[in-house]
Amino acid sequence: MKLVIETQIRENYGAHDGTAENWKYKGGNTYEFALYEEATDELIAELYEAVTDYNDAFEEYVTTHFVCSSLKKTTPDYIDPYRLMKKLDGSWCAIQVADMGGNYKMRTEIRHLTGDMAGEQELSYLRDDNVVCDVWGNEIKPSLKVQSCV
């Protein structure tokens, strides 16, 4: 089973030039979290907090959530959902895994979940043993091991 959370994103075009608020809807994201037991209210609240973000220029908020089979496709074929995982330090990360064939998959992370610098996305891949490796120039470094990807 997996818990699926869907969000809406808005961007404030007025925040960039100091004018009045001018919010525009910009789509949203789908997040998945592998469930090994029943989803508690506490877990759902923690995940809601992990995926929401707000500042003067950007907002992402939850629109709905549901539980379904791990095999159910929750996004169109051209979009890959973000997989929510808790790191050993207790922080959350969201990894978007796109199957590229072979022994690797490409990954991007949601900035507000990982604390990365604004606007940066790193090139990474997920090995078959569930170790995420980051690619920096010619160097490949394992960054975290995940329990599973849904």
Question: For position 15, what pLDDT does the model report?
Answer: 81
Question: For position 84, what pLDDT does the model report?
Answer: 85
Task: Name the residue with tokens 């506490």.
Answer: 42
User: What domain range is 31 assigned to?
Assistant: 2-145
For the chain, how many residues are written? 150
Check: pTM over 0.75? Answer yes or no: no
In a domain, 150, yes or no: no
In a domain, 126, yes or no: yes
Low-confidence winner among 16-20, 47-51, 122-126 (lowest mean pLDDT): 122-126
Residue 45 pLDDT greater than 90, yes or no: yes
**Considering its fold, how many domains does the chain have in total?**
1
Average pLDDT of span 54-63: 92
pLDDT digits (tens, 9 = 90+) for 130-145: 666 665 545 556 566 5
